[in-house]
Amino acid sequence: MKQCEANLIITLGLIAHHRGNGEQARDYFEEAFELAEQHDLEGEKYSYYNNIGIIDISDRNYESAIKNFRTALKIAANIDDIKTHNTLHNIALCYNNIGNREKALEYYKLSLDERKMLKDTLAMLYSYINIGVLYMQQDINDSALHYFDLSKDAALKINDQRVLGFAAINMSNIYHTNGEYDKGIESARAAQEAFKVSGNTSMEQMG
């Protein structure tokens, strides 16, 4: 009963956050956490730190977010069958935003490992893209191409033309940088076609 009550309060917090009211969201999450503490609801404690971390990201308080996500992972270590790949992904996002690409790659790959175990193609797809972008930003082009190619395969499986186009345009840019102009043109055309099919003509990088 108390678990249901805590989850209801967490849901109210999520709604408040989606509506842009971070302070109200924090209040709801704090209320849910108090219940979780009183009744040893470990899953809800994990949710608390994870959700507070997400609010920290919205506030661009990345160091605090990392701290909260790490606490969530410590709690999750004692919970059977809990999925932590999104928490790992969010830690990677934080490190990327503060310029620590080495740590960002580490956590993106940890998240990807769990997503592979879960056979979550959509989640794997975004892991591949993010890892590819990080390698590309560091001019490690062979690794970037490898991950963009993996993202293309995943995108084809679930018919995500937008991501297919995003991967192809980045591959085109790398091929041009490498002087492989025919491959660059081929990838650019593939990107153009994918964006046309998806109805999205934007070639901006994804977050």
pLDDT, one tens digit per residue, over 13-23 is 889 888 988 88
Coil, strand or helix: which one is 34? Answer: helix
Q: Is 179 left (phi over 0), alpha (psi -120 to 50) or beta?
A: left
Determine the Cα–Cα distance for residues 74 and 10; give it in Å rounded to an integer: 20
104 band by pLDDT with thresholds 50, 70 and 90: very high
Q: Is 191 left (phi over 0), alpha (psi -120 to 50) or beta?
A: alpha
What is the pTM (predicted TM-score) of this model?
0.86
Determine the Cα–Cα distance for residues 121 and 112; give it in Å rounded to an integer: 10
Coil, strand or helix: which one is 171? Answer: helix
Q: Per-residue pLDDT for 155 more than 70? A: yes
200 band by pLDDT with thresholds 50, 70 and 90: low
Determine the Cα–Cα distance for residues 144 and 191; give it in Å rounded to an integer: 17
207 band by pLDDT with thresholds 50, 70 and 90: very low
* Mean pLDDT for the chain overall: 91
